[in-house]
Chains A and B, each alone.
Chain A
Amino acid sequence: MSAVFQVQNLKKSFGGLAVTQDVSISMAPGDRVALIGSNGAGKTTFVNLVTGHLQPDSGKVTLGGGDVTSLGPTKRVQQGLVRSFQVTRLFADMTPQEHVALAVLQRTGRARRILGNFHAMPDVMAEVGELLHTLGIDHIATRKVSEIAYGQQRLLEIALALALKPKVLLLDEPAAGVPQSDTPRIEAALAGLPADLAVLMIEHDMDLVFRFAKRVVVLAAGAIIFDGSPQDVTKDARVREAYLGNYANDRSAA
């Protein structure tokens, strides 16, 4: 299938430190890719470059065939490239319900209305209720975000991304900080995503990675050292050395 999302020869350095070194990735609709790599490997930087939150030194990002490299983050989101943040970025004074409603309003072109209120828009309320229910945070829908647990904030962060109905979804460590008991909620939400959506997930929990991904990309010191199937990644010598180490050993031992 043709690529919905393509990154070509992306490069970025901070000062003298090359954090992204000639990275190229292509994704087709329906892809489920896991991006792994040790802390500081440049995974979040990659997401920031792709979404337009950082400017690359060189390289090209295309979305649905169109070059978006010079566009800001807002325009890219409008074209269907949506991300979640590793460290939650939420509005402390607003409720989960308001957050998701704002995302739905924005997606449906109603976020600039100066009249009316989303409580009186049945379609928005229905969609918000459904999403919060999927992620298991409907019982705290009307609390302020500053009053809910961090794990719940992480789930809301994912709900926000889903509310934008992306074509390409980049999830930056969605399960980090979520209690073990709640990770099935994230998995359920991921499993329920539209089949034609392309998803790239950064994740450290390898069990989650192996259940989710049909393809694994490994980043080490800003460069891709592996791009292939989950079965092969544990066998790859460089990956073992650079990152997987213990995990791979545990698995083969088990």
Chain B
Amino acid sequence: MAALETTSPTAKATSSPNRLLRDLAGLAVILIVAAIGFLLFPNNLALLTRITAIALLVLSLDLVTGYCGIATLGHAALFGAGAYAAGIAAAHFDINDPIAMVAIGALGGAVAGLVSGAVILRGHGLAQLVLSIAVVHLFHEIANKASEWTGGSDGLSGISPDPVFGVFEFDLWGHTAYGFGIALLVIVFMLLRILVRSPFGMLCRGIKEDPIRVSAMGASVQGTLLRMYVISGAVAGIGGALNAISTQVVGLDSLSFTTSAESLVMLVLGGTGSLFGALIGTVSFMVFKDFVSAVNPFHWLTIVGALLIAVVLFAPKGLYGTAAQLLNRSRRQ
């Protein structure tokens, strides 16, 4: 008992208040960046809302790749599943309340997470990567074939969401969609902060580093990973639903291999295994892509490629990871 008195208070002091402060600071940063975006690009809110939806996809990818160490190039399957679930609910079942649509999107994403997780987790390393690619192609093909429900390659239209809380109509300028998106992002982000710090989040980080150690602790590795896949699916599904609500169409590109690969690029760019890294990666990639493709529509991919090589070679922990590392180092000196 003597040990209790000497160790725990100090350990406690270094964690909780600090974390709360960091959470609030993080929240403030997101809101400030969102406001700056709104002021700088008032005519391009559609892009900003799209970035917000993709940020949810990249956060979701971070949960399985960054926190659990699962390699996947098929994560858009979960995003697309959420988008189609919300879109089909609206277009075919007349469920137009945006919050209900988001809930359905989360559910659709979670189910897709369960299915693709069950497949992808059968493999390891390269096999896992190949399985993930197969999964997203399969989802894509199913959506393409079920054109009565999904609109096939023409896309799913006929989505017209009701006003949020019956008050805020989705306007032509995209004000409501943007506000709705930022609100969703902030809520999800805060929930994920809690998740990654929870016992379950610790277990996932443990599995990423050494699954054998985790099983030697008596915890089920596969069960834990599958659970995280379902949670990740719900998050991606919310992103998909947001995209369906804000653009009022769902296209096959929402569950494409390209979207999957791009989301992985964004995550690596920002830094895996941190929620801020996921956000920063998304924003920098999307803004950079938009900017470069406007300036030089022919070579934008080359430039994005060069940027990525530079980051991987010179800042392997990603933009956020590297910045955090430098900051830590300078603070210590």
Given contacts A89-B212, A93-B209, A125-B12, contact A130 B199 (CB under 8 A): no
Q: Is B199 a contact partner of A118 (Cβ separation < 8 A)?
A: yes
- Which residue of B is nearest A112, CB measured? B200
Q: Is B198 a contact partner of A113 (Cβ separation < 8 A)?
A: yes
0/1 string, A53-93, CB within 8 A of B gives 1: 10000000000000000001110011000110100011111
Given contacts A112-B203, A112-B224, A114-B195, contact A133 B216 (CB under 8 A): no
Report the stretch among A134-142, A192-200, A224-232 that lies at the interface. Answer: A134-142
Q: Is B216 a contact partner of A72 (Cβ separation < 8 A)?
A: no
How many angstroms from the CA of A83 to the CA of B217 in the assembled complex? 9
Given contacts A89-B216, A106-B217, A125-B12, contact A111 B199 (CB under 8 A): yes
How many angstroms from the CA of A93 to the CA of B210 in the assembled complex? 11
Q: Is B7 a contact partner of A133 (Cβ separation < 8 A)?
A: yes
Q: Is A142 a contact partner of B4 (Cβ separation < 8 A)?
A: no
Q: Determine the chain A residues whose CB is within 8 A of the CB of B1 once the complex forms.
A: 126, 130
Q: Is A77 a contact partner of B217 (Cβ separation < 8 A)?
A: yes
Choose among A82, A117, A125 the residue that contacts B197 (Cβ–Cβ < 8 A): A117
Q: Does B333 contact A (CB under 8 A)?
A: no
How many angstroms from the CA of A103 to the CA of B199 in the assembled complex? 10
Q: Is B8 a contact partner of A92 (Cβ separation < 8 A)?
A: no
- How many B residues touch A, CB cutoff 8 Å? 38
0/1 string, A116-133, CB within 8 A of B gives 1: 111110000110111011
Q: Does B289 contact A (CB under 8 A)?
A: no
Q: Does A98 contact B (CB under 8 A)?
A: yes
Instruction: Give me the interface of B with A, judged by CB distance under 8 Å.
Output: 1-4, 6-8, 10-12, 14-16, 194-195, 197-203, 205-206, 209-210, 212-213, 215-221, 224, 227, 231
- Interchain residue pairs with CB less than 8 A apart (30): A53-B212, A53-B216, A73-B216, A74-B220, A77-B218, A78-B218, A82-B216, A83-B216, A85-B216, A91-B206, A94-B202, A102-B199, A103-B217, A105-B202, A106-B218, A110-B199, A111-B203, A111-B219, A112-B200, A112-B203, A112-B224, A114-B194, A117-B198, A119-B12, A126-B4, A130-B1, A130-B4, A132-B3, A133-B3, A138-B7
